[in-house]
Amino acid sequence: MMNLKRWILFLGFIIAGGLSGAGQVRGQSLHYNGSMQLATGSYYFEENTRSFYLTNGLGIRNARYGISADVPFVIQSSPWISYSRYGGIPTGGPQHGSVGRHYGQGPGMGMGGRRQPVDLADTASYTQSGFSDPSLSLQYQVLGFETAATALYFNTSIKFPLADPSNGFGTGAWDMGIGGSVSRRFDTWFTTANFMYWHFGDMPDLELKSSLTYGAGIGKSFSGGHWLVLGSFNGMTEIIDGVIPPMSAALGIGYQVGARTSLNISTSFGLSESSADVAFGGGWQVKLN
């Protein structure tokens, strides 16, 4: 496995190549991207956590390359959920050592086969807000242009550890990923699939394993492509030792407002103890040139 310095050099080389390629090809478009999500769940803790994520970013695209940067703003009712490039991870935040000790002692199962929840300090009066770690992402279209039915993409991303991990706004470590995605169109129906291998930096008293994230979906377009409906499943391999990793199912609707603007809304449901019970989200993209 590549160490941290090699990861940074490798991804830096890829992103620099993407910037060079995007700068040399005409027909660039500048986009403003945004999204918001409201999530709630107890995860494997005694108390429920409510999280609100608002992300804003800018992206540049041409015929083959796309590069984007974004900064999330987080409001949470507890510090136990740490924001990563993949999403919220129940690390325990400033008490992440308690999570490591709890699951490092065995399966942690109580009577009736139910897993014993991690009991952390009371957060009834806790509400914090602040910016999370910014990230930079690159996408390169390997196959499929214009009217092609199949499209294949190479993706890479890096998260910079600038946020305060004690508030749950980040892990205090680098996240770096490399992967791919594919989509296939069948008239008005389409399918999607994606994967990415992530190197998650460890917290001081909790190891975060490198993990493979994955997802698949099926959707249909209506009204000449102005409306889209997509159902999807997403998950990842184990990231915290002894803990079932996050998995969720989602249903989304997209609408192409015009030539420059698109909107979407979604609802997702957690399928494991590491996921939010339910999350509601929305997003938008506006072409600026």
pLDDT grade for 111, boundaries at 50, 70 and 90: very low
Residues 38-74: tens digit of each pLDDT: 999 988 888 889 999 999 999 999 888 999 999 999 9
Residue 74 structure tokens: 């987080």
Residues 156-187: tens digit of each pLDDT: 999 999 887 777 688 888 899 999 999 999 99
**213: domain range?**
4-287
Q: Exposed, middle or buried: residue 277 (CB in 10 Å: 0-12, 13-18, 19+)? A: middle
Residues 248-259: tens digit of each pLDDT: 999 999 999 988
* CATH of residue 105: 2.40.160.40
pTM: 0.81
Number of domains in the chain: 1
pLDDT grade for 120, boundaries at 50, 70 and 90: low
Residues 20-38: tens digit of each pLDDT: 555 554 568 999 999 999 9
Tell me how far CA of residue 174 lies from CA of 13, 71, 95, 219, 268, in angstroms: 17, 15, 19, 34, 27
Beta-bridged to residue 211, according to DSSP, are 198
* Residues 5, 224: Cα–Cα separation, whole Å: 48
Give the count of beta carbons closer than 10 Å to the beta carbon of residue 265.
13
Beta strands in 15-127 (DSSP E): 29-41, 49-61, 65-76, 82-83, 88-89
Q: Check pLDDT > 80 for residue 117.
A: no
Residues 222-257: tens digit of each pLDDT: 998 899 999 999 999 999 888 889 999 999 999 999
Q: Choose among 202, 269, 276, 275: nearest CA to 236.
A: 275
